[in-house]
Each structure stands twice: as C-alpha cells, then as structure tokens.
Structure 1
Amino acid sequence: MSIQQSIRKISFFNNLNDEQIDLIASISSESTYSSNSILYYESDENNNLLFLVDGLIKIYKIDKFDNEIFLYHIYKNSMISELTSIKQNEIYCFSNAEIIEDSTILSINFDKFKEHFLSKNILTMELLEILLEKTHQLQCIVNRELVFDATAKVAFMLNQDVDMFNKLKRQEVSFMLHIQPETLSRVLKRLTRNGVILVENGDVIIINKDALISIFKGVGV
C-alpha cells in the first residue's frame, strides 16, 4: 500500500484533491508497530502529527504509586496527537501510548503541515473538529473517574464501545474502570435483571439502549 493510499483511509483528509494528497505524502512517513510495543511515553516531545491508519492503541498514565490509569483507546482512522498549540512545532505527550494490535501510523511533519495547509486555511475546520472531540473525550474521562459510580461506569462503557467490552476479559474491564471484578459481575447481573442487557455466551447485548443511557446521562453535568 502506498502512503497516498494510507492517507486516503483517514477521513480527516477526505476533502483534499490528488495534488494535496501528494503534498501530504511528501511531508509524511509511515511506520508499522507490533502489538505490546510503546509508541511514546508521557513527557516525550516530537515534531510530527500522528494518525492511526490501522490497529489499536491504548492511552494511559502512571500515578505516583506506579499504578496504570487507563484513559481511552484510539481506533483506526483517528488522530493520535494531542495538540495544545498550533504556534509551536513541538508536540508534547501528556500520556503513554501502547500498541495493542499491530498498527500502521502516519507521521506528518507538523511545521510543514502548518506551512502548506493550516496557514492557507486548509484542514483547519477538520482539525478544530478533532480537537473539540478530544475535549469532549476528556470531559467523559473526568466524569468516569471522579463522578460516576460503578453502575454508571459500566453503563457508559457499554454504550460507548460494547464491542471492546466483549473483546476484553472481565478482569481487564474491571482494571480499566477501576472497580473490583466482583462489583462488575454484580452490575452486569443487575442490568440483566432490569432488562437493560442480555448476556449470551459471555457477550453483552444491549436490549434497552435508552435505559442504559439514562443510568449515566446527566450525572456530573
């Protein structure tokens, strides 16, 4: 697959013409990472804007007791980088990024990207939209970690990504949500009794999405 083909797999670049795609390719590189490798550590700096073409990435932090604090997953066709300024060329990493599945990453020279695109008001709205989505994601993390009780945490994750919930082991889900496995089991049983979900062969099936959303909707707002 050419780098142009990889760029076209990312919806952020959908409105670019062939010439612009070639220009992006000329200031970019593409790398592959195997699962369980580290893309970057907290406090690292780089000069490239990163996009996940294919694969899966886990974003997490380490607390003062060396405990891992799960934040969120990044899926294919997504921007990885967390920007705080478009004036500086250095992009500061606020968390750790671990490759969960074999991944392909597009790396774009941020300085040249600003010169050839942002300075000409090309892709500025698309970038703004991504940054707003990341801000909303941060708000959700604050709610999950500081406001939600165990039931709201589980309901929120099921609503956001039931496929990932089913893909992970229950112990991994408990670890991510910072609740005990026994607590997770009790919540799932309660949601089942209330007709919100159905568990078949270990997989959760949502049967009343409105009821599920009502569990966490409005909490922390």
Structure 2
Amino acid sequence: MTLQDTIRKISFFNTLNDEQIELIASISNVSKYSSNSILYYESEVSKNLLFLVEGLIKVYKLDKFDNEIFLYHIYKNSMISELTSMNNNDIYCFSNTEFIEDSIMLSIDFEKFKELFLSKNILTMELLEILLTKTHQLQCIVNRELVFDATAKVAFMLNQDLEMFNKLKRQEVSFMLHIQPETLSRVLKRLTRDGTIHIENSEVSITNKENLISIFKGIGV
C-alpha cells in the first residue's frame, strides 16, 4: 500500500483532491507498531500530528502509587494527538498511550500542516469537529469517574462500546471501569432480569436500548 493510499484510509482527508493528498504525503510518514508497545509517555512533546490507520490504542494515566487509570481507547481511522493550541508547534502528551493490537500510524509534520493547509482554511472544519468530539469524550470520562455509579458505568460502556465489552474478559472490563468484578456481575444480572440486555455464551446484546440509555442519563430509572 502506498503512502497516498494510507492517507486516503483516514476519513479526515476525504475532502482532499489528488494534488492535496500528494502534498500531505510529502510531509508525512507511516510507522508500524506491535501490540503492547508504547507510543509515548505522559509529559512527552511531539512535533507531529498523529492518526491511527489500523489497530487499537489504550490511553491511560498513572496515579501516585503507579496504579493504571484507564481513560479511553483510540480506534482505527482516528486522530491520536491531543491539541491545545494552534499557535504552538509543540503537541504535549497528557497521558500514556499503548498499542494493544498490531497497528499502523500516520505521522504528519504539524508545523508544515498548518502552513500548507490550515493557514489556507483547508481541513479547519474537519479538525474542529475532531477537537469537539475529543472534548465530549473528556466530559464522558468525567461523568464516568466522578458522577456515575457502577450501574451507570456499565450501562454507558454497553451503549457506547458494546463490541469492546464483549471482546474483553469481564475482569478487564471491571478494571477499566474501576469497579469490582463481583459488582460487574451483579449489574449484568440485574440488567438481564429487567430485560435491558440478554447474555448468551458470555456475549451481551442490548434488548432495550432506551432503558439502557436512561440509566446513565438519569431518566426514569
């Protein structure tokens, strides 16, 4: 696969013509990473805008006791970088990122990207949309960690990321949600009894989505 083909796999660049794709390719490179390798650690600084082409990334922080605090996953066809300023060419890393599948990453020189594209109002709306999505994601993390009880945490993950829930072992899910495995089991049984979900061969399916959503939005349940 050529660099240009790789760029076209990222929906962020869908509005670009062939000439613009070539221009992106001239300031980009592609890297492959194996599962369990680290992309960057908290407090590192990057000069590049990063996109995940294929694979899966876990984003997490460490508390003062070096306990891992899971934040979120980054899926393929997504921007990895967390931008805080358009005036600074440095991109600060506020969390640790680890590849949990063999992955492919696109790296773009941020300074040249701003000069060749953003300064000409190309891809600015697309970038704004991504940044707003990331802001919403942060709000969801705050709710999950500071507002939601165990039932709301489970309901939220089932609604937002059912595929990942079924892919992981129950112990891994409870670790991610910062609840005890026994608590997760009780919540799943309760949601099964009231007809919100169905479990067969350890795989969860949603049977009443409206009821599921009302649990973490605080409507009627």
- TM-score class normalised by the smaller sequence: over 0.9
Q: Using the alignment, how far apart are the partners of 2:55 and 2:86 within structure 1?
A: 27
* Residue 185 in structure 1 maps to residue 203 in structure 2: no
Q: Using the alignment, how far apart are the partners of 2:218 and 2:57 within structure 1?
A: 29
Q: Give the TM-score normalised by structure 1.
A: 0.98
> CA offsets per residue over residues 138-179 of structure 1, 9 Å max, x none?
000000000000000000000001000000000000000000
Q: Using the alignment, how far apart are the partners of 2:7 and 2:218 within structure 1?
A: 38
Q: CA deviation at 1:42?
A: 0.3
Which residue in the other structure is 1:171 paired with?
171
Q: CA deviation at 1:60?
A: 0.3
Which residue in the other structure is 1:40 paired with?
40
Which residue in the other structure is 1:142 paired with?
142
Cα RMSD between the aligned structures?
Answer: 0.7
Letter in 2 for 1:132: L
Q: Using the alignment, how far apart are the partners of 2:218 and 2:18 within structure 1?
A: 45
Q: CA deviation at 1:125?
A: 0.2
Q: Using the alignment, how far apart are the partners of 1:67 and 1:136 within structure 2?
A: 25
Q: Using the alignment, how far apart are the partners of 2:135 and 2:93 within structure 1?
A: 15
Q: CA deviation at 1:218?
A: 4.5
Which residue in the other structure is 2:9 paired with?
9
Moved over 4 A (4+): none
Which residue in the other structure is 1:21 paired with?
21
SS of 1:101's equivalent? coil
Which residue in the other structure is 1:57 paired with?
57
> CA offsets per residue over residues 28-78 of structure 1, 9 Å max, x none?
000000000000000000100000000000000001111100000000000
Report the number of matched residues.
219
Unaligned runs of 5+ in 2: none
* Residue 82 in structure 1 maps to residue 89 in structure 2: no
SS of 1:153's equivalent? helix
Q: Using the alignment, how far apart are the partners of 1:218 and 1:198 within structure 2?
A: 22
* Residue 215 in structure 1 maps to residue 212 in structure 2: no
Unaligned runs of 5+ in 1: none
Letter in 1 for 2:31: S
Letter in 2 for 1:80: I
Q: Using the alignment, how far apart are the partners of 1:161 and 1:137 within structure 2?
A: 13
Instruction: Write the mapping of 1:60-209 to structure 2, written as runs, cut at 5 A.
Output: 60-209=60-209
Q: CA deviation at 1:217?
A: 1.0
> CA offsets per residue over residues 66-100 of structure 1, 9 Å max, x none?
11000000000000000000110010000000000
> CA offsets per residue over residues 166-201 of structure 1, 9 Å max, x none?
000000000000000000000000000000000000
Letter in 2 for 1:100: I
Letter in 1 for 2:208: N
